[in-house]
């Protein structure tokens, strides 16, 4: 678990909202122009800070959904009904608004071409956001690293980045979708939760030493990580990030 130093100071800076993209009924991608952005690595996140007129402030972290090579910074935000920051970002924020942020943050849950593979990305729900950054980086770098995305979602309507994932934008990446609640009658993908059997089929073998990233709600991440380690995968090659609703 050796690290890379990240020496410079993270100052708060302003981004301007260029566009808001409806990903699903409860998820939007915020496309930002950040003039002073100094670049990031795929998988990192930013802190957002909102300030009310009475001076009250709230801070939250969001994964970056754009590649280092992309012209704009993209944050994909799922609306949490009892949240304080996410409903503002999905329901109130408009193009032209300014957003205070700082980053990039985190240096472990990142993938770049030089780390190699085979690369296995396992996403639950809005946990797919950092993987979009990795896939876009994979494309931009013309990577030949064998890459698979296994993405669990409640239904097709809940699928974030649906069009680009289903239309094969990431030519060469094997995309497998698991729908856990509703699926079309002719659905060719996995039906139900990601289980040990599916993981075994998708995850290469332990001797092929895939580099695995898992992102999603805690229970999802725990189950997938435990299953892979139980199959003999090296825990040091399984990187996890947990977020989304934490429940009460």
Partner 1 sequence: MSPISRGFTRRRQSTADTTRVPPGQYVTGDFPVLSAGPTPHTPPDQWSLRIDGQVDEPVSWTWEEFLALPSETPTVDIHCVTKWSKLATTWKGVSLDVLLEYVQTEAEYLTAWSDGGYTTNLALEDVTDGRAWVAYEFAGEQLESEHGGPARLLVPHLYFWKSAKWVRGLTLTPNDEPGFWETYGYHNHGDPWLEQRYQGD
Residues 6+ apart with CB under 8 A from 147: 117, 118, 119, 120, 121, 135, 138, 170, 172, 173, 174
Nearest to residue 123, comparing CAs of 109, 143, 112, 137? 109
Q: Which of these segments, 4-12, 70-78, 118-126, 167-175, binds partner 1 (CB under 8 A)?
A: 4-12
Work out whether 38 is an interface residue with partner 1 (CB under 8 A): no
CB of 241 to partner 1, least distance (A): 8
- Among residues 35, 36, 52, 188, the one that binds partner 1 under rule CB under 8 A: 52
DSSP state of 207: G
Structure tokens, 54 = 């009475």
Q: Which of these segments, 98-106, 118-126, 155-163, 203-211, binds partner 1 (CB under 8 A)?
A: 98-106
CB of 56 to partner 1, least distance (A): 5
Q: Which helix (H) or strand (E) holds 226?
A: helix 218-230
Q: Which positions from 135 through 174 interact with partner 1, judged by CB under 8 A?
A: none
Q: Which positions from 55 through 74 interact with partner 1, judged by CB under 8 A?
A: 56-61
Q: Are 163 and 170 within 8 A, CB to CB?
A: no
Which parts of the chain are beta strand (E)? 13-24, 27-33, 45-51, 57-63, 73-78, 98-105, 119-124, 147-153, 174-179, 190-191, 211-216, 238-242
Work out whether 114 is an interface residue with partner 1 (CB under 8 A): no
Work out whether 107 is an interface residue with partner 1 (CB under 8 A): yes
- Among residues 50, 140, 145, 169, the one that binds partner 1 under rule CB under 8 A: 50
Site for partner 1, rule CB under 8 A: 1-10, 12, 14, 47, 49-54, 56-61, 83-84, 87-88, 92, 97-100, 105-109, 218, 222, 225-226, 228-229, 235-236, 238-240, 242, 246-248
């Amino acid at each position: 678990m050796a690290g890379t130093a990240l020496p410079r100071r993270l100052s708060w800076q302003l981004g301007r909202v260029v566009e808001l993209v409806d990903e699903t009924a409860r998820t939007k991608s915020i496309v930002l122009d950040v003039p002073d952005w100094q670049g990031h690595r795929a998988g990192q996140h930013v802190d957002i800070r909102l300030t009310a007129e009475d001076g009250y402030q709230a801070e939250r972290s969001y994964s970056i959904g754009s590649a280092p090579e992309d012209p704009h910074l993209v944050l994909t935000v799922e609306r949490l009904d009892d949240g304080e920051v996410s409903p503002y970002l999905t329901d109130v924020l408009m193009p032209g608004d300014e957003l205070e942020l700082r980053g990039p943050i985190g240096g472990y849950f990142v993938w770049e071409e030089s780390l190699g593979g085979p690369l296995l990305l396992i996403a639950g729900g809005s946990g797919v956001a950092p993987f979009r950054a990795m896939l876009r980086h994979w494309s931009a770098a013309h990577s030949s690293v064998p890459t698979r995305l296994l993405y669990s979602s409640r239904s097709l309507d809940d699928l974030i980045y649906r069009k680009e994932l289903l239309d094969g934008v990431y030519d060469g990446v094997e995309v497998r979708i698991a729908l856990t609640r509703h699926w079309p009658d002719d659905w060719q993908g996995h039906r139900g939760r990601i289980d040990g059997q599916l993981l075994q089929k998708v995850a290469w073998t332990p001797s092929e030493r895939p580099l695995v990233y898992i992102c999603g709600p805690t229970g999802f991440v725990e189950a997938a990580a435990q299953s892979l380690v139980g199959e003999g995968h090296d825990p040091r090659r399984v990187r996890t990030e947990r977020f989304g609703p934490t429940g009460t």
